[in-house]
Structure 1
Amino acid sequence: MTEDIASPRAWADLPFFRQDWPGIAARLRGHDWLPGPARVFAALELTPPENVRVVILGQDPYPTPGHANGLAFSVTPETALPRSLKNIYAEMREDIGAAPANGDLSHWARAGVLLLNTSLSVPPGQAGAHAKWGWDRLARQAVARAQQVRPLAFILWGGHAQKALAGLPRPQDLVIESAHPSPLSARRGFFGSRPFSQVNDWLQAQGQPGIDWALSETAAAG
């Protein structure tokens, strides 16, 4: 029931939750949508503003039931890797020599990577159907709030992400822009972009620990 979905406590004072969420919730009510009420705000719940160090922006949840878990590019652990995520992991192996053991990126979120989509809901089998509902205002507001805490590293894959956050990165932020990891565009500049090592080098220069990008593989191996 959408009326029972509480705003993520750490982000609840964003204007979106007062101005936009009630209308979106009313449109969702009575319909099937993904990832569903329990996971719709997972990215914000796992990564409160004071923890955000890296921003990775996606478009909308995977439209296949059981795949999306509320984090951009992420899937439930038992789901086969989507094609874009396969390419992300291939680039990661080239960049840092390892990649996660499955497609669940929750450990990135807990480490401070805000994995937010510009739309947080989608009807089953209808990719992009809720893209113009006003969800995108949440992404900009959340990023702007996180910027109040510290400089951020932005990994902006593809024109959609770059346009969605245009004007927000500041001189003190790190911005890595490349083609999207989709099979349609990955060879136009995504492969070879080495975002993971770049982010960790920058974080460490800021006096922060790097992101353990391949944590789940390390845990599985241990």
Structure 2
Amino acid sequence: MLDDARPQGWADLPFFTTDWPAIDAALARETRQILPPRSQVFAALDLCPPDAVQVVILGQDPYPTPGHAHGLAFSAAPDVRPLPRSLSNIYKEMQDDLGACPPNADLRFWARQGVLLLNTVLTVPAGEAHGHKDLGWQRLADQVLARLQDRPRAFLLWGKPAQKIARTIDAPHLKIETAHPSPLSARRGFFGSRPFSRTNAWLSEQGHTPINWTTPEAP
């Protein structure tokens, strides 16, 4: 196990002592291509140390298409075209909610503002969605959410899996629970939920800077 794989700010979570060695060993035995690349497995946590997190968006597992996943839930490499279908629906809702959306699939500029885009499973075999769901990754998400209950934060919980893992989150946090943005469910309550403007209104009420959801910062 490489200790330097542990994301700063989160490295003291019990997961990295009790679970990560076995997961790391299982990944080393894997004969299939693993996504995202090893250096990006903990990218969401690397970009958002606990004190910086203002908003949490939970995903399920990385995109299984090589070249898409780069370690943040729903985000993809900036050159990915067409957009992944769930992300396309997220942008449709954002366009209706805010009147604009980002120019490409790369959401790292959200993360740099304190939006933790955390998948509950952090790896996937290429071409096999949910192929690593039984490795034990979910315990990391449990511990991350427990760490983040120390002060009010916003939680955007899209779909029943995210809502189940965040079931202990309650006031004074903001919880926005809707259907998942997948093409299979987006019309069952995700569209029209206006999560981005609602989150920004709540952040403003808390005295925090609203998230710039639409416009990546200049290089």
Partners of 1:91 and 1:76 lie apart in 2 by: 21
Partners of 1:82 and 1:6 lie apart in 2 by: 27
The one-letter amino acid paired with 2:122 is L
Partner of 2:60: 59
1:61·1:120 contact (CA, 8 Å) conserved in 2? yes
2:98·2:197 contact (CA, 8 Å) conserved in 1? yes
The one-letter amino acid paired with 1:85 is L
1:5·1:37 contact (CA, 8 Å) conserved in 2? no
The one-letter amino acid paired with 2:78 is P
Partner of 2:132: 130
Identity %: 60
How far off is 1:30 after superposition?
4.1
Could you report, residue by residue, the CA deviation over 1:11-52 in whole angstroms, capped at 9, with x for unpaired residues?
000010010000000000043310021100000000000001
How far off is 1:147 after superposition?
2.1
Partner of 2:84: 82
Could you report, residue by residue, the CA deviation over 1:36-85 in whole angstroms, capped at 9, with x for unpaired residues?
21100000000000001101000000111110010000000000210110
Larger mean CA deviation between 137-146 and 114-123 belongs to 137-146
How far off is 1:93 after superposition?
0.6
Partner of 2:181: 181
Partner of 2:36: 35
Could you report, residue by residue, the CA deviation over 1:87-111 in whole angstroms, capped at 9, with x for unpaired residues?
0000001001110000000011110
Partners of 1:108 and 1:143 lie apart in 2 by: 18
Partner of 1:112: 114
Partners of 1:79 and 1:85 lie apart in 2 by: 11
Counterparts of 1:9-48 in structure 2, within 5 Å, are: 9-31=8-30, 32-48=33-49
The one-letter amino acid paired with 1:86 is S
Counterparts of 1:89-100 in structure 2, within 5 Å, are: 89-100=91-102
Q: What TM-score do the two structures reach when normalised by structure 2?
A: 0.95
Partners of 2:2 and 2:127 lie apart in 1 by: 24
Partner of 1:72: 73
Cα RMSD, aligned residues only: 1.4
Partners of 2:195 and 2:46 lie apart in 1 by: 25
2:94·2:101 contact (CA, 8 Å) conserved in 1? yes
Partner of 1:164: 165
Gaps of 5+ in 2: none
Partners of 1:8 and 1:143 lie apart in 2 by: 15
Moved over 3 A (4+): 2-5
How far off is 1:132 after superposition?
1.6
The one-letter amino acid paired with 2:40 is R
How far off is 1:171 after superposition?
1.1
In the alignment, structure 1 residue 209 sits paired with structure 2 residue 203: no
Partners of 2:119 and 2:4 lie apart in 1 by: 18
Could you report, residue by residue, the CA deviation over 1:122-157 in whole angstroms, capped at 9, with x for unpaired residues?
011111011121101111111221222x21101000
How far off is 1:5 after superposition?
5.2
The one-letter amino acid paired with 2:114 is G
The one-letter amino acid paired with 1:171 is A
* Counterpart secondary structure, 1:38: helix
